[in-house]
Structure 1
Amino acid sequence: MALGGATASLAGCSASSDAITSQLIHGATGGGLKDTLDPHFPVTMPDIARVRSLYEPLLRFTPDYTIEPSLATAVEHNADATEWTFHLREGVTFHDGRPLTADDVKASIERMADPKNPAALFSDIAPTVDLAASKALDDKTYRIKLKVPHSILDQVLASYSLGVVPRDFDVKHPIGTGPFRYESFLPGQRSHFVRHDGYWDHKAKVDSLLILDFGDDAAKVSALLAGQVHTIDNLPPYLASAIGQQGAHALVSETGGWVPFTMRVDQKPFSDKRVRQAMRLIVDRQQLIDQALSGFGRVGNDLYGPFDPDYLGTELPQRHQDIAQAKHLLKAAGHEDLQVELVTSPAVGSGGVESANLLVQQAAKAGVQVRVTKADPSVFYGPQYLQWLFAQDFWSTRLYLPQAIACALKTSPYNETHFDHPQFTELITSARRETDPARRRTLLQDAQRIEYDEGGLIIWAFANQVDGYSRQVSGVVPCREQPVSSYRFHLFTVKDQ
């Protein structure tokens, strides 16, 4: 990673000790030639950082992960949740100065629901949107009409990846309403944005934002300590205390994020449930937390969504390492001499590669030979992504139902395990339509029991998010959703030393 541009940018900052720097420089984990500025298709961490800087959804999550207004100040739905009405905020402008209108929301929903290419986290809803009946009621009111009920549409539309764009949006010249506007972009290397002076919320405290992609943790940390970047996401946890002695700080956030081991349930050997359960019993979860995460995490129980009020993971029997039972299951499945490749990448974030290497040792106790392949980020998230037999990935904090829709259905955009369970699908479909919270809770907990018993995810921990920032930076706060204060760079102040 060449850092000459970052160094040059810092050199141009004001010399006054009280002056606000002209530029915030962020070191992002991963990235590659397939990086994108598309608001509806982010994959890598640099993608997410860019999307959050340029665009905004109708609703958003607070640092403690509750929904609050964003471009919409209010939302309501009819009795069966087939009609949702959004009331837009006054005074919002796009980067080119045009005001946000309900027609822009209409065009954005139509783009998200494009039957040929629906937005990743809208793909489950897209076929149910009645585009002909969904319309702008006036300049600041938009109503979406659904063919079937959807009781949590507000949770879905609060996703960072469902930003509103103007009617004539062109990804080659991206325009949004976010705190920064596009200046330049070189996939796999850097992105340069400048402050949106017409921003409706807290205007950015820096003139510009530079995001640099890093495929190597050592280079990323070195850049922070050398003053070449101001913030980095996914600081290796074992450095959390050490960097304080070298001129930087660690930011630790309790999140619902997870870096799972993913097993494809549609291919041997993981098509046999006994093999999947054996692999779950091979894992020493606490050891992975202690060593791969340096203690920065909480034990997981193969279910996601720990902040969801309907989360069942703490009520079901906690899985612990049980080598004897794992051997028994493997022998019964005819795989007592199992050999399997595990594909990982630095792009999955802190603890990923480290936990993969530890799994090799843990699996050997059960006679399982795991061979780790460490793929370059551009390869891991390239054409083979979602096709790996046994791999890892990363997920940010989500509530249970939106997460299940994103990763556990045949139609899900990120179904790494190729999980396709008819009863589970029916439960999720019913829960999505159910407006009564008590009945929806029963449906969701029944679905969780199926994933716990038959799923292809090994969710060994909910990792605390550990990031790094320079002593020049203030305004950084813990957030449950995503790294570095959920990439709310506009809230940061950067002063010269």
Structure 2
Amino acid sequence: MSRSRPTPPASLSPAARPSRRAVVGGGLVLGITGLLSACAGGQVAGPDVRLTGPPQQGGRLRVGFVGGGASDTLDGAVATNLGDIARAINMYDTLFHFDDDYTLQPMLATEMTPNDDASVWTVTLRDGVKFCDGREFTADDVVASVERIIDPDDPKSGAASLAHLESVTALDRLTVELRLNASDTSLIEVFAQYSLIMVPADFDVENPVGTGPFMLDSFTPAQSTVLKANPHYWGAEGPYLDEIALLNFNDTDALINALLSSQVDAVAQIPSALADVIAADTRMRILDSETGMWLPFTMRVDVEPFDDERVRQAFRLAADREGMVEQVLSGHGRVGNDMFAPFDPAYPDFPQRTQDIEEAKRLLAEAGYPDGIDVELVTAPIQAGVVEAAQVYAEQAAAAGIRVSINRMDLTAYWGDYLNYPFSQSFWYTRNFLPQANSSMLPDSPFNETHFDDEEFIDLVRRARAETDDAARGQLIEQAQRIMYERGGNIIWGFADQLDAYQAYVGGLKENATGVPLSGFQLHRVWMGDLA
């Protein structure tokens, strides 16, 4: 459950030209540019530095990110913020995972095979896997993990995706059977989500045990987490590092300052407005990954004024999507079309929605708002680019008579009630259509931010999950996506690249399509090297 680009100094960007992009975040860039120059001895550019040699064993990686609070958790099954997700991916494993190209790959399971109608799945586990305390990982642990996730008294984030699970049974030491009360061809993708962690039957969140490449050393909510290498790690690669320090920062200014002053080795989610400026420092590297990450505006379809489909359409038509990608993401992204899951093979090619101010005005007048409409947009710095997107949309929508007042909240307050705001924002990493719909578009979804409850949509999702023929399933998904396109509660204006930054001596980071920062937080592949 990423910015307006100010114009950098001519010495950094000869092609830069003045524009209203300088309005959002301009102070941050000027301040960081000054620090960058100071850290480089007054010279931003200089001889390039290169990482030399093969991966090296040992060392400590310090990773910085914005966010976190008193609700930070060591339980990967309820991960929400960046720190939670980083802990989940590095301390625990799932049965499957998506690789850097967003292709499904085995993890703790080597195979997951359905029967003819995908109502019974047989999971074959990897032999020789151990938990960080040295105990063997077996089918009994899978049963315990799944039962923990779907516990009706304390359901975890993945529970809604497993609502149709009838039974989970260990057939032998390395074989598990999953029986469903409804067919589901996408079940294997559910078990590739980072929240579907596998843990021992006696799992204790105060003393967590997992099979991941790292294990807990210390944890202070809202401040820091220290992980150390798991001596029993089963994977073929890594971990190369002895230790990882995950460090929380209160704001982006502090985060970038920490990077440029070498207090951290890598940072997750830099403002796109700063990518070129940071890259000008030869000590730094930018990791720019094309992803399916989306930063929607969410309209609750069950409350005024968004219970009127015409209002929702008007709000979508007020957005200049190309302008938002340019201003908010500094071009580091792609235009969206009010549908998610662009990496899904069934993603449809509908006519691209563009800004249409006159039609937006007409629809508002038809819905009873001939003089325009006043709305509050609740936002917070939950992801790079979210607050900036709010500011840009408010400017764009004003032309259609949509008068947006922005209520910027701090992170703790925002997450405390975020499912109840009539007009707000969210973010999602790359997912295919069916897992995403399960998480956010159904009445029983854990994160139904728009309170969407469309009978036709629900039926199409149910039928798509049960359809074993790829082509037929794709047609059902296309129909469901059209409902979202025409009457959904999301304004999906674009798909953001994931932008991270790191010191040049950090090796092993690569482009990753999942949308999760720093190569999907797969830090077991990262190593500290020497520079030439």
TM-score band (shorter)? over 0.9
Is the alpha carbon distance of 1:25 and 1:496 closer, same or farther for their aligned partners in structure 2, counting shifts above 3 Å?
A: farther
Deviation at 1:214, TM superposition (A): 2.1
The aligned counterpart of 1:272 is 308
Distance 1:244 1:289 in 2: 20
Supply the AA of the counterpart residue of 1:273.
E
Query: Is this contact kept in 2: 1:196–1:203, CA < 8 A?
Result: no
Query: Is this contact kept in 2: 1:215–1:346, CA < 8 A?
Result: no
The aligned counterpart of 2:499 is 466
1:19-168, aligned counterparts within 5 Å?
Answer: 22-126=59-163, 128-131=164-167, 134-168=168-202
Distance 1:488 1:111 in 2: 25
Local SS of the residue matching 2:293: coil
The counterpart of 1:309, out of the listed 337, 345, 348, is 345
The aligned counterpart of 2:389 is 355
TM-score scaled by length of structure 1? 0.93
1:475-494, aligned counterparts within 5 Å?
Answer: 475-481=508-514, 482-494=516-528
Query: Is this contact kept in 1: 2:150–2:158, CA < 8 A?
Result: no
The counterpart of 1:341, out of the listed 365, 376, 385, is 376
Distance 2:66 2:362 in 1: 40
The structure 1 segments of at least 4 consecutive aligned residues displaced by more than 3 Å after TM superposition are 17-21
The aligned counterpart of 2:418 is 385
Deviation at 1:203, TM superposition (A): 2.3
Query: Is this contact kept in 2: 1:478–1:485, CA < 8 A?
Result: yes
Supply the AA of the counterpart residue of 1:360.
A
Q: Between the two proteins, what is the percent identity of the paired residues?
A: 45
Supply the AA of the counterpart residue of 2:60.
Q
Distance 1:90 1:197 in 2: 17
Deviation at 1:121, TM superposition (A): 2.6
Deviation at 1:20, TM superposition (A): 5.5
Query: Is this contact kept in 1: 2:160–2:438, CA < 8 A?
Result: no
The counterpart of 1:218, out of the listed 253, 259, 281, is 253
1:180-329, aligned counterparts within 5 Å?
Answer: 180-201=214-235, 202-246=237-281, 247-312=283-348, 315-329=349-363
Alignment deviations for residues 226-277 of structure 1 (CA, whole Å, 9 cap, x no partner): 1111111111011111112232111000000011111111110111111110
Alignment deviations for residues 319-370 of structure 1 (CA, whole Å, 9 cap, x no partner): 11111111111111112331111111112x2211111111111111112211
Distance 2:133 2:341 in 1: 38
Aligned length: 474
Distance 1:399 1:124 in 2: 13
Local SS of the residue matching 1:414: coil
Distance 1:29 1:425 in 2: 36
Alignment deviations for residues 180-215 of structure 1 (CA, whole Å, 9 cap, x no partner): 001121111111111101111122111111111223
Distance 2:58 2:109 in 1: 32
Query: Is this contact kept in 1: 2:215–2:230, CA < 8 A?
Result: yes
Deviation at 1:85, TM superposition (A): 1.0
Deviation at 1:22, TM superposition (A): 2.7
Deviation at 1:496, TM superposition (A): 6.6
Supply the AA of the counterpart residue of 2:63.
H
Is the alpha carbon distance of 1:211 and 1:452 closer, same or farther for their aligned partners in structure 2, counting shifts above 3 Å?
A: same
Is the alpha carbon distance of 1:363 and 1:466 closer, same or farther for their aligned partners in structure 2, counting shifts above 3 Å?
A: same
Alignment deviations for residues 405-440 of structure 1 (CA, whole Å, 9 cap, x no partner): 111100111111101101100111111111121221
The aligned counterpart of 1:421 is 454
Distance 2:116 2:246 in 1: 45
The counterpart of 1:330, out of the listed 364, 367, 390, is 364
Distance 2:311 2:248 in 1: 37
The aligned counterpart of 2:443 is 410
Q: Which runs of 5+ in 2 are unaligned?
A: 1-51
The aligned counterpart of 1:179 is 213
Distance 1:146 1:206 in 2: 41
Q: Which runs of 5+ in 1 are unaligned?
A: 1-16
The aligned counterpart of 2:402 is 368
RMSD: 1.4
The aligned counterpart of 2:29 is none
Query: Is this contact kept in 1: 2:132–2:209, CA < 8 A?
Result: yes
The aligned counterpart of 1:5 is none
TM-score scaled by length of structure 2? 0.87
